[in-house]
Amino acid sequence: MTEVSNYKKQNIIGDRIDLLIKQLGAENCAEQKMANHGLVRFGRPAVKYLCEALTHDRAVVRSGAAKALGAIADSSAAQPLLEILNDSDNLVRKEVAFALGELKASIAVSALCDSLEDQNLEVRKESVWALYKIGDRRAVTRLLSCLQETDKYLKLRAITVLGAFQSVESVPFLIELLSDEEEVQKEVIRSLGKIGCPDALPALTGLANENNKELADVLNEAVSMIDRST
């Protein structure tokens, strides 16, 4: 009787999950959001169904499934997600990149590096953050190309990640950005401080500006970090 009860229970759970996955394709955004929350609450039992939904013919369902898998963060979803990172839909690619980052899927590093050249800005931004979450320094060389981006926020993300990776090889490229606008300058200074390379000191001390206290504070902290690391 116990086996029969378990079988029925699994079927009931499966039916509920299937219903929520269908709801991901609802026209109403509120319904989509409710479905996502419901799937995430199911947790691991929903993973198999969500992985199957990644091949759904509707992009809204594929993107919703990827988003839920990112929130559940079960490692078994890494390969199915990786297989649709080149989906034809921008939102799907963005959500897949997000999910791979949440899973810290090291198998996706190379593919996410390729996504740094995606035609869609939001996909590129999400790919930078995913590489940061995975924390694999193999991405550094490809991340350097993001420093040439015209979008400020993508550039800022790349600067932050290179600092977090303590990428010494990025120092000359970061120094070049010290002439950029103030928000970028500050993030570059913070990253140079985290990297701790003394080669950056001449460029940093040359930026000293007593009339800008906030910038001066960031500079002083970075110089102190470099001094402590040498």
How far apart CA 47 and CA 42 sit, in angstroms, is: 9
Helical pair 29-42 and 59-72, crossing angle rounded to 10 deg: 40
Query: What is the SS3 assignment for 61-73?
Result: HHHHHHHHHHHHC
Token reading at 28: 């109403």
Q: Considering only CA atoms, which of 29, 31, 34, 36 is closest in space to residue 62?
A: 36
Task: Indicate if 97 and 159 belong to the same structural domain.
Answer: no
Domains in the chain, number? 2
Give the predicted TM-score (pTM) of the model: 0.90
CA atoms within 13 A on the CB side of 117: 8
pLDDT digits (tens, 9 = 90+) for 100-125: 999 999 999 999 999 999 999 999 99
Query: Is the per-residue pLDDT at 1 higher than 50?
Result: no
Mean pLDDT of the region 4-24? 77
Query: Is the per-residue pLDDT at 11 higher than 70?
Result: no
Task: Indicate if 105 and 185 belong to the same structural domain.
Answer: no
pLDDT digits (tens, 9 = 90+) for 153-168: 999 999 999 999 999 9
- What is the model's pLDDT at position 5? 52
- Which residue, of 113, 135, 157, is where some domain finishes? 135
Strand (E) positions, 48-202? none
Instruction: Report residue 209: phi and psi, to 5°.
Output: -145, 105
pLDDT level of residue 6 (50, 70, 90 thresholds): low
143 lies in which domain range? 137-230
Task: Indicate if 118 and 16 belong to the same structural domain.
Answer: yes
- What is the model's pLDDT at position 2? 58
Task: Indicate if 18 and 126 belong to the same structural domain.
Answer: yes
CATH of the domain at 167: 1.25.10.10
